[in-house]
Each structure stands twice: as C-alpha cells, then as structure tokens.
Structure 1
C-alpha cells in the first residue's frame, strides 16, 4: 500500500554526484558477483556426493562472467569521488566504490587461496557471540510440525504472479522479471531485481507466502522504493546493505505467519558452516556436523555446506542470522519499521538517511510489503519488539 499519496518526489542530486551515482549503479550491475559464485550442476553434485558414501564432492563449477576485471576496476577507481559537491554524498558513494572494488577481488580470487580473506574483508566473519547464539538455536529450537511439501512450481508461480499483480494495482511502475531455473542453488533468490525460482521447488503450502514475502516483499519492494529516490544506490544497495535486507527478509517470514523452527535452525547452521569453511573444512565435514551432530535433514545440510564453500569459503551466509539479530535489537530499542523500506541500505546508514531526507534527496517508501496489510500485522510486529531471536519461530502456521 502507498505510504502517503501526497509524498513529494526527492530533488535531483548535484551534477557530479549524479554522474558518479549513475556510474556506480552501472558497474554494480556488471559485477554480478553472486551469480559468479553460485554453483551450477547441483543435482550432479549431490549424486556424486552420495555415490562417494558422502565422503567427497567434485570441485564446484560456476558460470564465467563476461567481465574484464582489470578494465572494470580501472573504471571504478577513476570515478571523481573527490569532486562530489556534498560531503554527505561523497562519503556514501566512496563507501560504495570501496565495496565494489572488494567485490571485484572476490570474483578474481574465486577458488584460490586468497578467496577467504577477500570474503572476510567484504562480509566479515563470525563473531563469538553469533557463534554461541547459533549453537544454542541448534541445541534448543525444535523443528516445526512436519508438513507435506504439497505445492509445486506451477502453484508457486501462480502465487508469485498474484503477488506482483497486487503491487501493480497499487503503483503501475512496479516490476520484476521472474526466471525459473532448474539448476539454482537456492529455493528463490533475487539478483539485480530479477526473481529466480528453482524449477524443481516443492513446498508445504504454509511456506509459500512467507518465502514470497521474504523475496518479493523485502528485496523487490525495497528495490522499487529505492528506484524512486534521487540516490540510485538506494535501488541497487548502499555498501553493506545485505545484513538488513536478509534480516528484514527473515522477519517477513515471521510477520507473514509462518517461520518454522527448522528455518531458524538452517540460519544457525549457516553460521556454523561459515565458521568451518573459514577454518578450511570442506563440504563432507560440514555436512557431517550439520546432519549427524545437529540433525539437519540431508537436503538442508548439503545445501548449507555447499553454500558455505562457494568460491572457496564465502562468509556471506552468516549475515542472515546476524542481520536478524541486529534488526531485532533495533526494533526493541524503539526503531521505526516503515522507513526501513525506503531502499537498500545498512542499519548504520539510518542517521545518514535522515540527513539525506532533510536535504530533500530521500522520500518515504512508495510501497510497504503486502503482509503489512494483514489485520493482525500490528500485533505481530509488536511481538517482534519483545522476542529473543531463538523465540522468533512458529510451531505451526498461523491461521
């Protein structure tokens, strides 16, 4: 639903800031690091793992980006950041420039000894407090009630299309491409505004809407709202925006009515898998700990293990649980919910965004997620302001 039909459009950026902002957005689109680090041939990978007695996997395979890394880096570093008229904008755009430079390094170092350090530089590692929380969740949080995976790709696509229609009824320029891919290392994912769906996906009916609210209600909606801002980075993502985006995505599953215990356990497992990958452990060892020690189902344990080993040890997966923790702390301190959907940014940018708003460069979000229109949404959000992370799950779907 529109936040306010009377909201004025933000004013344009100054000339140099506008050119740098646009150039950074174009470079961001070219540096599709997530696609470059998403393994292909996942079915064959599992079959090989099974055939080995779950003791070995072949090397992960990836697509090759059609990208000249050296030339792209030269373009990136040549941007006239120091000439930007506003120190406020200069700081934000310089931060994004540094992040894109580290993303290029991540792609360049894929499957080399330097990859883990590049990932730690970009996403950080696992703090002891987060590791302790993850282990506690795996020990104390029980899976939800077993539900039959009774919904297939056709019904899921129908629900996704209905979701898109709901937003288009409220604002005509809402758009996202949808691609069905039978070789996807995720159930659903959004990359550069495109929603990818695993063509082999089957889900319990109660999980369809929460998953759609995670991907569309968070990632697509914030991209739409960011596209209406003067600063293009709010569409593609300011530096370090991942933690808040993924925290909002997981919270959306709870607010949409069904975040089961096993989903929270998977997020905790990703933290442990990240730790193990950083320490040099490979897929079989990670799988064994997650499946045999912590009781994750085979498909979840294998998926989490492979994700952790992407590129040689990708630490991004720890931000899901970490981002959820930071988001709950923010909400429990009285933080406002609606402004978090103005675009893609980090929680640390909130004060900067207030300054940008005061300068007229940022407007309130045009749309909020569909789940905010549920009759009991205020009560659900209020509960999130009091629950500990380990309590943020459901034993059964909300009615």
Structure 2
C-alpha cells in the first residue's frame, strides 16, 4: 500500500475511533422498552381495552447535546475516498438521528417523527404485501410444536446447546422489561430472554436461528474489524439485519405462514400508527378485526406504540424480501454477515475489505450453508411479494 493510502486510512481510522468513543453506549432498544409493561398490560385489560397504557422508560445516562456536537466535529473531509466519505457522513447523520430518538422517548409525536426519519413507515405496497400474506391459510401443523412449554430458564439450555456450533461465547440474561420474547443487546454481547414468557418448540427453533444464527453472529463478526462502525451499525442496518434473521428462519425450514402473518400484522400495526391510531385503537384493530388473541395483539401494539410511536417493525418484512431476492440473484450472503451492515452498502464493505480495513465474515449463519426450506407456500409468497 502506498504512502498516500496510509495517510488516507489513518484519517479514516481516527474518525472511526472518535465515533466509537461517542456512541458505544447508544443502544436504542435499551431505552425504548418500558419498565412497567406487566402492570400497564393488566390495567389495559381491566379497562376493557379502552384506557391507553401509560408507560415509563429507563433514565438516559449520557449527555445528549455533547454527543450531537462532538459527532459533527469530525473532519469527514479528510477521508479522500468519495464512497467511504459518503458512508461516514451517512453514519454521523444516522447516529445523530438515533440520539434524537432516545432524547424524545415517551414524548409522543416528537419521538414518532424522529423514528420516521430513522426508519420510515410502510408504503402502500408494503401494506398490500402484508394483506396478501394474510389471505393464506395457516399450514396444517403439529399443535404440540406451538404449545407453550418452556420457561425462560428452561429455554436457556436450548440456546446454549444450539450455540455449540459457533466458535464464540456470549452472555444470557433474563428480563421482564422487554417487549420482545427474546433480543440480542449488541453492545454487551448478551441474549436477553423474556422472563414472563413461556416458549414453544417452534419459537425455540425460530429464535435460535434468528437471534443467535444472525444477530449474535453479526455481533461477533463485527468485533473482528479495525473499524468500529461494523459494531455500531451502518445507516439503516435494521432492515438488512432483521431481513437476514428472518431469512435464516426460512433457510432452516422454520419460517411458517403463521410467522409470516406475525410480520404482516406488524406492518398493519405500524400503518395504523401512521394513520393516527391510539394504542387502544391499534389493539382493537388487531384483536377484533384480525382476530388475534389479546396477548399477541397487546405485544404487537406495544412494540409499535412504545416510546410514542416506534416504526421499525415494518422493516422485518421489507428486509426479508430484499435478502430473499439478493440470495436468489446468487449474491454472497457472507458479505452481509460481516457486522451490523446494510445491503445497500455492499460495495463499500467490499472496498473496506480490499483496503485491509475490514475482514471477511469468520462466523457464518449455520442455516445458510444448505437451503433446507421445504415449505412451497412460503416460497411462493416470498417470490410474489412486490
């Protein structure tokens, strides 16, 4: 590598390190999950679904103004490669937007508008795709596969056993203050299981592939790079990451029509948010019109209305379609496993690898090795999403 490239790379590494120091404590999911979910769920049910929950959120433990200011002090002009400089400009705007989201959690419309800037909202076509999925009948299945059986403590052993196929270690924690039934906290390399939830065999199969097979795999691959943006996340990486995670369910033959419908209901719920629905009105839409049981309707509504309007959930379906198409075009999925990256920046990822500033994925999603999907209806649905 010539002297000029060494100088260029030094500037890039310095800027990346500066950003790392500033944003390593920023994990939106650590702040947007209410701390009083169970209490408010019981109050909401007791009100006959009429009184909206009043959620409380964790305290913010960083200086928001200082973070904004220091982010924009970075001398991005020192990065001479146009594509990489543009990537870092996008990254700074993205992180600034996430900080604004965290600032305004619980403030209603302010948070919702911040989320629109960060995550967007479903298009008419996205809503039509969701409704298309909902027309299909659930496949006949072994009822026992969907029967709640395992406490979070019992489920932990399944995750540990599944993880033996990967060459990394991580922590498992339990919490009654998360809206998901399981989630990976990237910044502390921890899988969190919902201690209030009872898991079925199907959910264990889905979650091991989704949470460990992709989210933890990309967390661990991200640690291998010189550049820390692979850990903190490329702009709009949520769509690609969730798409990859659901695609691992598909490749391992665990993606059912029932699961696709769950993702479709999330799109419907985010669309209702965009139409101005309150928590209770979105809940009643799912519970009464779409006949979801009240527990499922509550938690889908919670995921979407937490913070004041969290629009991210529609991206699972759009991300799945993009990754499915990417795979069927014969493109290399391992490039998307290098960290918390975005499909649209695939060329920049390859450039960084070529420059020696990134490394190919060490850990590869087990389900991606062989396509075990045998569900022809699911395949038909994914091919025909627009």
| Shared fold, TM over 0.5 | yes
2:93 maps to 1:98: yes
Does the CA-based 8 Å contact 1:332-1:386 persist in structure 2?
no
Does the CA-based 8 Å contact 1:338-1:365 persist in structure 2?
yes
Shift of residue 369 of structure 1?
Answer: 1.9
Q: Alpha carbon RMSD of aligned pairs, Å?
A: 2.5
Pick from 68, 74, 93 the counterpart of residue 73 of structure 1: 68
Instruction: Identify the residue that residue 237 of structure 2 maps to in structure 1.
Output: 241
Structure 2 distance, partners of 1:224, 1:118, is 29
Shift of residue 57 of structure 1?
Answer: 2.4
Instruction: Identify the residue that residue 3 of structure 2 maps to in structure 1.
Output: none
Structure 2 distance, partners of 1:231, 1:68, is 24
1:38-97 deviations in Å (ceiling 9; x for gaps): 112111111001110111123121111111111111111112222235433322222111
Pick from 274, 279, 293 the counterpart of residue 278 of structure 1: 274
Does the CA-based 8 Å contact 2:104-2:110 persist in structure 1?
yes
Shift of residue 385 of structure 1?
Answer: 11
Residue 91 and residue 381 in structure 1: after superposition, are their counterparts in 2 closer, same or farther (change >3 A)?
Answer: farther
Shift of residue 365 of structure 1?
Answer: 0.9
Structure 2 distance, partners of 1:133, 1:294, is 16
Structure 1 distance, partners of 2:21, 2:164, is 28
1:291-333 deviations in Å (ceiling 9; x for gaps): 1111222211110111111121111111111111111222233
SS in 2 for 1:150: coil
Structure 2 distance, partners of 1:383, 1:361, is 41
2:134 maps to 1:138: yes
TM-score w.r.t. the length of structure 2 is 0.89
Q: Which moved more, 1:261-270 or 1:23-32?
A: 23-32
Structure 1 portions without partners, runs of 5+: 1-10, 169-173, 393-399
Instruction: Identify the residue that residue 155 of structure 2 maps to in structure 1.
Output: 156
Structure 1 distance, partners of 2:173, 2:8, is 34
TM-score w.r.t. the length of structure 1 is 0.87
Shift of residue 378 of structure 1?
Answer: 3.5
SS in 1 for 2:70: helix
Residue 127 and residue 41 in structure 1: after superposition, are their counterparts in 2 closer, same or farther (change >3 A)?
Answer: same
Structure 2 distance, partners of 1:345, 1:135, is 29
Residue 26 and residue 161 in structure 1: after superposition, are their counterparts in 2 closer, same or farther (change >3 A)?
Answer: farther
Structure 2 portions without partners, runs of 5+: 1-5
Matched positions, count: 374
Pick from 276, 290, 295 the counterpart of residue 294 of structure 1: 290
Shift of residue 386 of structure 1?
Answer: 5.8
Q: Aligned ranges for residues 349-364 of structure 1 at < 5 Å?
A: 349-364=345-360
Q: Aligned ranges for residues 179-258 of structure 1 at < 5 Å?
A: 179-192=173-186, 193-258=189-254
SS in 2 for 1:309: helix
Instruction: Identify the residue that residue 4 of structure 1 maps to in structure 2.
Output: none
Shift of residue 143 of structure 1?
Answer: 6.5
Q: Greater share of helix residues, 1 or 2?
A: 2
2:371 maps to 1:378: yes
Shift of residue 390 of structure 1?
Answer: 7.9
Structure 1 distance, partners of 2:198, 2:140, is 17
Pick from 13, 18, 41 the counterpart of residue 18 of structure 1: 13
Shift of residue 167 of structure 1?
Answer: 1.8
Structure 2 distance, partners of 1:269, 1:385, is 16
Structure 2 distance, partners of 1:281, 1:385, is 31
Residue 112 and residue 372 in structure 1: after superposition, are their counterparts in 2 closer, same or farther (change >3 A)?
Answer: closer
Structure 1 distance, partners of 2:203, 2:299, is 18
Structure 1 distance, partners of 2:139, 2:372, is 24
1:107-159 deviations in Å (ceiling 9; x for gaps): 22222432222111111111111110112222324266333112222321112
